Amino acid sequence: MARPVTLFTGQWADLTLDTLAGKVAEWGYDGLELACWGDHFEVDKAVESDGYIKTRKDILEKHGLKCWAISTHLVGQCVADAYIDERHKAILSPRLWGDGKPDGVRARCAEEVKKTAHAAKLMGVNVVNGFTGSPVWHLIYRFPPVSDAMVDAGYKEFADYWNPILDEFDKQGVRYALEVHPSEIAYDIYTAEKTLAALGNRKTFGFNYDPSHLVHQQFDPVNLINRFPDRIYHVHVKDSKLNLNGMNSILGSHLGFGDHRRGWDFVSPGHGDVDLEGIIRALNRIGYQGPLSVEWEDSGMDREHGASEAVEFVRSTDFTPSQIAFDAAYEKK
């Protein structure tokens, strides 16, 4: 089962889509997961201009590439975050930031995610990946004292923000795949359970599976697949490496990515602690046939070297599940 291998364009937004597509085709990828920033996929143009979608498709076709998903991580983050501040201004367009008043930012971003569902349908894809933001992330450490009621209220607030958005996704026949991730409403298995419950377990909402955000929290990423086999709507191939040395922790120590003192960091696929073969076996068990999308992040490696190496690593690790028991030949007829 040769799953398509794609490259997520989010970390390449400084390049035009045409330039990046040419490189990706040369490296041997099957397609692109288009980020809704840079010039790669602009949602406002997609829904307002009759010809914009054709320009995206023409570029992909020119380079022999396809698209299975688009991604709205940056805008989605700003829908339900408890605090909207200069961090969010840095990741939003002036059109969405506006005057920066939190309620207005959240409202504009919520409408943009709704439009993204429409844009995805026009593009011919049925999965939008992204973040959601979180009203409770700042409560992660239960001091000053945090009650269960405060946490429950935060999950309800999240659902109040996102259910109207998901209603629009239902209308368009598109699914939303949250990347389970620290700073999101779901960052591990238990919080993923709470998130689905808060939304009434509606099928429109599932997960963009990215093991790099799980392994550095020190739980087995395969367990997320086993727990939610029917909610894995898209898969990122990304890696991270633990570097716990007795002086740091998994909390990051307020050190930037790439700082050698951190307790963990992102690395190119195949260079960290993610067991991709174990993940492939789990994906085979659940029958996942969608793309394996490389999200390339490694502060210590040239990105073109890493991205070209990554597609070879993914192809060499992916394999078709067996259709027979290995010892079936021993059976007497």
Return the pLDDT at 327.
58
Domain range enclosing 26: 5-238+271-322
Q: How far apart are CA 223 and CA 14, in angstroms?
A: 35
331 within some domain: no
Q: How confident is the model at residue 114 (pLDDT cuts 50, 70, 90)?
A: very high
Return the pLDDT at 1.
53
Return the pLDDT at 8.
98
231 within some domain: yes
256 within some domain: no
Return the pLDDT at 325.
65
Structure tokens at 68: 């299975």
With a cut of 80, say whether residue 333 has pLDDT above it.
no
Q: Which residues contact 144 (CB under 8 A, 6 or more apart)?
A: none
What is the per-residue pLDDT across 137-172, written as a single tens digit (0 to 9) for each? 999 999 999 999 999 999 999 999 999 999 999 999
- Of all residues in the chain, the percent with pLDDT exceeding 90 is 95
Please state, rounded to an integer, the average pLDDT across all residues of the chain.
96
Note whether 260 and 318 are within 8 A (CB). no
With a cut of 90, say whether residue 260 has pLDDT above it.
yes
CATH code, domain with 291: 3.20.20.150
225 within some domain: yes
222 within some domain: yes
Q: What's the whole-model pTM score? A: 0.96
Q: How confident is the model at residue 321 (pLDDT cuts 50, 70, 90)?
A: confident
Q: How confident is the model at residue 2 (pLDDT cuts 50, 70, 90)?
A: confident
264 within some domain: no
Task: Tell me the average pLDDT across 308-326.
Answer: 89
Sequence letter at residue 250: I
Q: How far apart are CA 52 and CA 123, in angstroms?
A: 10
Return the pLDDT at 323.
75
With a cut of 70, say whether residue 222 has pLDDT above it.
yes
Note whether 272 and 241 are within 8 A (CB). yes
With a cut of 60, say whether residue 36 has pLDDT above it.
yes
List the end-to-end C-alpha distance of the chain, in Å, as a whole number.
30
Q: How far apart are CA 228 and CA 189, in angstroms?
A: 9
281 within some domain: yes
With a cut of 70, say whether residue 271 has pLDDT above it.
yes
Q: Exposed/middle/buried for 116, CB within 10 Å: 0-12, 13-18, 19+?
A: buried
Number of domains in the chain: 1
Return the pLDDT at 86.
98
What is the per-residue pLDDT across 41-52, written as a single tens digit (0 to 9) for each? 999 999 999 899
262 within some domain: no
